[in-house]
A and B are shown apart, each in its own frame.
Chain A
């Protein structure tokens, strides 16, 4: 018990001293997770809207794939991206393995299905509600997209936050493709895994506090969004 107490005290000292290595790890974590979330939003929001609005051959299969993608085990994604980026892989010539870019790619693969699936359900619910009204105004299907995306904005933002939460807390995929290289590809989650393994509990705890703060901020943002949505949506 006292070991945990000592570790916590050391953790606070590290945080208060703004230990440069710790800050670099936190910064890289945020850059990788935010980058992956931004890419996932760019890909997933239009994909989700398309799946909700348009009817085309293969749509059912795509919906199934996206829904399945929500539950992809990170290590499986890590392995797939590793195989793609490794020297012998199809994208090996770009030399991306064990770089932050590889970590962003892996997390984008993980997060895009989450954003797309939540966006699809948000836009589909709204369309169900709006369909006859928009049709009665003579608005064609494609022209409904901007209206639906704007009116679903709070749920779409919540979808992106859910994606960010997944990315920030994820360790398996980035450990495989990033390699957890000190000063280069070490993030909060990979560092926690490493430090805990080494028995360096203080460093691990300090990182865990920061990670918890990030997750807490996301969890505070989601109900805030919901309240804002209720004010507008009634």
Chain B
């Protein structure tokens, strides 16, 4: 049973990107967790958000997806309609949240929530599972999959929603090297299909492999925003240099 969801049906989303972030501030208990972030996300790029623990990476991704409302600042998208904007994005968490249902049931809930007609769901599910190498898993209980398979399923679910912008919060943090490589291959595939990707990671090798642009956060501030090639060749700031060298300044 999928349940009758309040349909979030809208017309096909217009262009979401470029997405301009202006003066983003998030505060909690008098502390600035995100402190005046401004940058632009261009279409069809893969942007990696780097920074030490507590820099605000996960929070930034959540603000970009509308899960956390900023205290100040704004997100300017190409399409001003908030409903269509939401339809054009998907989010993948570090620890995949899977429903207590079959693989197919889990994907069907997501598709139903986005107003995908019932007759279209099956084809989308089959196609999305094939993309991540989970063909034939439709009837398996989603939560009995291995950790790697669960994250691949979360990626399939995100792709089934046909997002223009895919946000991923440390998607490989708890995966073994093989499952991590698989996730990276899927992400490369999605980028080739025109999906714009923004992800956070602690894995610098992964950042080098995937990133076209880098946002480097430090204590809630955006201290460096640069093309990946320039960032890894020699970042401008002291903090970023120390971070790449594995030394974290206080």
Residues of A within 8 A of B (CB): 126, 129-130, 132-140, 142-143, 146-147, 150-152, 229, 231-234
Q: Chain B: which residue is nearest A145 at the CB level?
A: B3
Sample of 15 more A-B contacts, CB < 8 Å, known A146-B3, A147-B109: A130-B97, A130-B99, A132-B93, A133-B93, A137-B114, A138-B87, A139-B5, A139-B6, A139-B113, A146-B5, A147-B5, A150-B3, A229-B100, A233-B143, A234-B142
Whether the Cβ atoms of A138 and B86 lie closer than 8 Å is yes
Distance in Å from the Cβ of A129 to the closest Cβ of chain B?
7
Interface centre among B86, B90, B113 (most CB of A within 10 A): B113
Q: Count how many pairs of residues, one from A and one from B, have CB atoms less than 8 Å apart in the complex.
A: 67
* Complex contacts, A151 vs chain B, CB 8 Å: 99-101
Residues of B within 8 A of A (CB): 1-6, 8, 65, 67, 86-87, 90-91, 93, 97, 99-101, 109-110, 113-114, 141-145
Report the 8 A-B pairs with minimum CB-CB distance, sorted nearest first: A234-B143, A146-B3, A133-B97, A234-B144, A136-B91, A143-B6, A151-B100, A137-B113
Interface centre among A136, A146, A147 (most CB of B within 10 A): A136
Interface centre among B86, B93, B109 (most CB of A within 10 A): B109
- Give A204 to B5 CA distance when docked, in angstroms: 53
Main secondary structure of the interface of B (DSSP, over half): loop
* Complex contacts, A130 vs chain B, CB 8 Å: 97, 99
Distance in Å from the Cβ of B124 to the closest Cβ of chain A?
14
- Give A146 to B8 CA distance when docked, in angstroms: 16
* Complex contacts, A231 vs chain B, CB 8 Å: 141, 144
Q: Contacts A136-B91, A233-B143; is A147 near B3 (CB within 8 Å)?
A: yes
Q: Contacts A151-B101, A233-B100; is A140 near B6 (CB within 8 Å)?
A: yes
Distance in Å from the Cβ of A151 to the closest Cβ of chain B?
4
* Complex contacts, A234 vs chain B, CB 8 Å: 100, 141-145
Would you mind naming 8 contact pairs between A and B with Cβ atoms under 8 Å apart?
A143-B6, A146-B5, A150-B1, A151-B100, A152-B100, A231-B141, A232-B100, A233-B143
Whether the Cβ atoms of A143 and B5 lie closer than 8 Å is yes
Distance in Å from the Cβ of A171 to the closest Cβ of chain B?
37
* Complex contacts, B100 vs chain A, CB 8 Å: 126, 151-152, 229, 232-234
Q: Chain A: which residue is nearest B91 at the CB level?
A: A136
- Give A96 to B90 CA distance when docked, in angstroms: 58
Q: Chain A: which residue is nearest B87 at the CB level?
A: A138
Q: Chain B: which residue is nearest A231 at the CB level?
A: B141
* Complex contacts, B90 vs chain A, CB 8 Å: 136
Q: Chain B: which residue is nearest A133 at the CB level?
A: B97
- Give A179 to B1 CA distance when docked, in angstroms: 44
Q: Chain B: which residue is nearest A148 at the CB level?
A: B3
Q: Which of A137, A140, A232 contacts B110 (CB 8 A)?
A: A137
- Give A126 to B100 CA distance when docked, in angstroms: 9
- Give A133 to B154 CA distance when docked, in angstroms: 10
Whether the Cβ atoms of A138 and B97 lie closer than 8 Å is no
- Give A137 to B8 CA distance when docked, in angstroms: 10
Whether the Cβ atoms of B67 and A136 lie closer than 8 Å is yes
Distance in Å from the Cβ of B68 to the closest Cβ of chain A?
10
Q: Contacts A137-B110, A234-B143; is A147 near B67 (CB within 8 Å)?
A: no
Q: Chain A: which residue is nearest B110 at the CB level?
A: A137
Q: Chain B: which residue is nearest A139 at the CB level?
A: B113
* Complex contacts, A135 vs chain B, CB 8 Å: 67
Q: Which of A133, A146, A233 contacts B141 (CB 8 A)?
A: A233
- Give A119 to B110 CA distance when docked, in angstroms: 24
* Complex contacts, A152 vs chain B, CB 8 Å: 100
- Give A2 to B141 CA distance when docked, in angstroms: 55
- Give A178 to B113 CA distance when docked, in angstroms: 50
- Give A140 to B7 CA distance when docked, in angstroms: 10
* Complex contacts, B3 vs chain A, CB 8 Å: 143, 146-147, 150
Whether the Cβ atoms of B141 and A232 lie closer than 8 Å is yes
